[in-house]
Structure 1
Amino acid sequence: MLFMAQANAQSYEEGRDYVALDTPVRTASDTGIEVAEVFWYGCPHCYAFKPLIENWAETIPDDVNYVKIPAALGASWEPHAKAFYALKAMGELDKVHDALFDALAGERRPLNSGEALADFVAQHGVDGEAFLENYNSFGVNARMQQAQAKVRGARVTGTPTVLVNGKYRVTASMAGSHEAVLDVVDYLVEKERQAQ
């Protein structure tokens, strides 16, 4: 079995299964190996990928740091990225993360403003006024700008995209499927582990 895993791992090829970034992007932590999922709440592919990467994240070793980065690849995506950071700042992200995916990707609801999002999160037990204060805060805007700089630096053009340690970019179209993305990510994590 081990030989088979090694044979499969060696078949991953830069430029075919993943892209090595010309200029690495900063990771959120100085220790461990960061695996960053770049997503959009309204993306049906992200919605399909979500249970796969969540199951994967439950079994990762201690040296792997899994983080989520909401992409704002267009102006219509910005309110959703800001909502992510507002909820995170409030410590309420876990309460509404799944519901936002269901509403935006699953039901295609038009939650495209701070006010509409505040009403939505209030229906899920989050203080709508406090949400709007955070949504419009300097801190949330700064976090969002940092994230978008990372997304641009990694040349992310679609979602879902996975960044490994700020050095590699993996997508389903390159890897062949959502499941295969995680196989390539595991390969790249091990590659990074051996390089340390």
Structure 2
Amino acid sequence: MRNLVISAALALVSVFGIASTAQAADIEAGEQYKVLKDPVPVSEPGKIEVVELFWYGCPHCYAFEPTINPWVAKLPADVNFRRIPAMFGGIWDIHGQMFVTLEAMGVEHSVHTAVFDAIHKEHKMFKTPEEMADFVATQGVDKTKFLETYKSFAVAGLVAKDKKLAQDYGATGVPTMIVNGKYRFDLGSAGGPEETLKLADTLIEKERQASK
């Protein structure tokens, strides 16, 4: 009887091993994700970094929010998640500076969803810092402080840094995900929102095992 139990257990392990191998085989560099030629340094050494490159005006980024937010909330302590605004010129840069300003003020987490909703549900454009300031004031953010921060040298430096990161990642669209400064993929290459996060999980584990 004991031998039968052991045999069954070994068979079960074997099945899971085959499934895991098959799943790994389904994910291929050059297909679902790209390996960056020159890895980009992460913001918190010692942690696995996951970046979402986004734009407030992007409908796909907005639609991705209900899927990615619960996933982010459950990430383990060894993973550092960051949102970085894609700034490819024009209104992209204006919206990107808005995000950087809110982040610099430490209020991005409480205003982020409201900004997305305002653009995609209320059709607000947020073309000027004054328009932004009027809106964030309705969300409890000090209007004068927002304008001062938006126009500050500190925010200008952070904007330049984020622009360079997007360039270093080789990103050309949004939403784009980057894991640990090494792997780049998007909803199209991964196969959809849920598949994108499954791919992120796989690459996070890949990096976790590589560090052991």
Q: CA deviation at 1:57?
A: 1.1
Q: In the TM superposition, what is the alpha-carbon distance from 1:5 to its structure 2 partner? A: 3.9
Would you say the 8 A contact 1:69–1:147 is kept in 2? yes
C-alpha root-mean-square deviation of aligned residues, in Å? 1.3
Aligned position for 1:46: 61
Going from structure 1 to structure 2, the CA distance change for 1:74 and 1:106 (only over 3 Å counts) comes to: farther
Equivalent residue number for residue 107 of structure 2: 92
Distance 2:134 2:95 in 1: 14
From 156, 170, 177, the counterpart of 1:141: 156
Secondary structure of the 1:95 match is helix
Structure 1 residue 84 displacement after superposition: 1.1
Distance 1:74 1:128 in 2: 25
In the alignment, residue 191 of structure 1 is paired with which amino acid? Answer: K
Superposition misfits of 4+ residues, deviation over 6 angstroms: none
Unaligned runs of 5+ in 2: 1-14
1:175 has 2:185 as partner: no
Q: Give the CA deviation at 1:108.
A: 2.9
Q: Distance in 1 between matches of 2:91 and 2:100?
A: 16
1:27 aligns with 2:47: no
Counterpart CA distance in 2 for 1:36 and 1:149 is 14
The AA in structure 2 aligned to 1:156 is: A
Whole-angstrom distance in 2 between the partners of 1:109 and 1:5: 46
Higher RCO (C-alpha under 8 Å, 6+ residues apart): 1
Q: Given residue 107 of structure 2, which amino acid in structure 1 is its aligned partner?
A: E
Where 2:27 maps in the other structure, the secondary structure is: coil
Q: What CA distance in whole angstroms lies between the structure 2 residues aligned with 1:105 and 1:153?
A: 29
**Could you tell me how far apart the structure 1 residues matched to 2:206 and 2:88 are?**
29
- The reply to whether residue 157 of structure 1 matches residue 186 of structure 2 is no
**How many angstroms apart in 1 are the aligned matches of 2:193 and 2:182?**
20
2:120 maps to amino acid: A
Q: Provide the rounded CA distance (Å) in 2 between the counterparts of 1:146 and 1:161.
A: 17
Aligned with residue 52 of structure 2, among 37, 44, 47: 37
State the partner residue of 1:79.
Answer: 94
**TM-score, structure 1 as length reference:** 0.95
Question: Residue deviations 1:45-76, cap 9 Å, x none?
Answer: 00111121111112212111111111112221
* Per-residue deviation, 1:10: 2.6
In structure 2, distance between residues paired with 1:148 and 1:105? 24
Is 1:63–2:82 an aligned residue pair? no
Contact 1:33 1:164 in 2 (8 A): yes
TM-score by length of 2: 0.88
**Further displaced range: 165-174 or 21-30:** 21-30
**Which residue identity does 1:88 align to in structure 2?**
E
Aligned residues: 196
- Amino acid in the other structure paired with 2:62: Y
Computing the radius of gyration over CA atoms, which structure comes out larger, 1 or 2? 2
